[in-house]
Amino acid sequence: MGIQDKFEEILKTQKEVLKKVAELVGESFEELKKKALEEKKSVEELIEEIVEEVIKTEKEEKKMGMPLLGDKFPHIEVQTTHGPMTLPEDLKGKWTVLFSHPADFTPVCTTEFVSFQKHKKEFDELNTQLIGLSIDQVFSHIKWVEWIKEKLDVEIEFPIISATDTLAMELGMVHPKKGTNTVRAVFIIDPEGVVRTILYYPQEIGRNIPEILRAVKALQVSDAEGVATPANWPENELIGDKVIIPPATDCETAKKRVKEYTCFDWWFCYKEL
């Protein structure tokens, strides 16, 4: 296949890739030929390598689209039952619990929304905004909220996002083997827009809302005090509601640590909050 045919083939199948190839190469065809000669390759081989590298990079970028712990939550503009929102910008200065649900008008999701609303005052006291999300349209969200108010006498006061399939995929909220609906995902996002906790539940298991509330409290305590919280905090079987001091990282600090705090050993010390 000649070079012209190669370019035409790429143009037909990989238009966006070709654009990136052109940007990546950033040199004239004559310079490309010179580079191929220096590397003892044909121009076709060099172009194929560049195309493969660009495609590989694109795939890796798509895989990395889902935010991970410590990542900034991606910028998204969405429509909600409370009007348009821009995340995480609109929530700067507040903690956020963003949770997705498989579908409106489903029993498990209904129990979750009622429970989130019942605990909303506690989240408010922690400066934490609740936001729901599914790929149902806004009018479906509105009608479902009305149904919950009419039938269950609970008024849902937090916004619900109407997400596109693409957005849900990018956030890792759609798992192919679990159908086309969003899974029960939870993102806890701090006031700077950083993802601090991610939880996933299958469609058949409802979430434990007090545990999500506990996680927000624990994160806030950890940030404020520079400590860690034990299992089941604040009702841990070993140290109750006390908090754990980060382990010493040098011998001198290790010796001091047991004199400064209550310890099982120098690497396991704790204190009153």
Residues serving a catalytic function are 109
> Which of 166, 175, 196, 217 has its CA nearest to residue 98?
196
> Which of 52, 53, 35 has its CA nearest to residue 43?
35
Q: 133: part of which helix (H) or strand (E)? A: strand 128-134
Residue 79's SS3 state is: strand
Q: Measure the CA angle with vertex 110, ends 108 and 112; round to 5°.
A: 75
> Which of 271, 39, 76, 66 has its CA nearest to residue 187?
66
CA distance readout (Å), 208 to 38, 181, 184, 193, 214? 63, 20, 11, 24, 10
Tell me the two tokens of residue 181: 């609906």
Peptide bond into 88 cis (omega under 30): yes
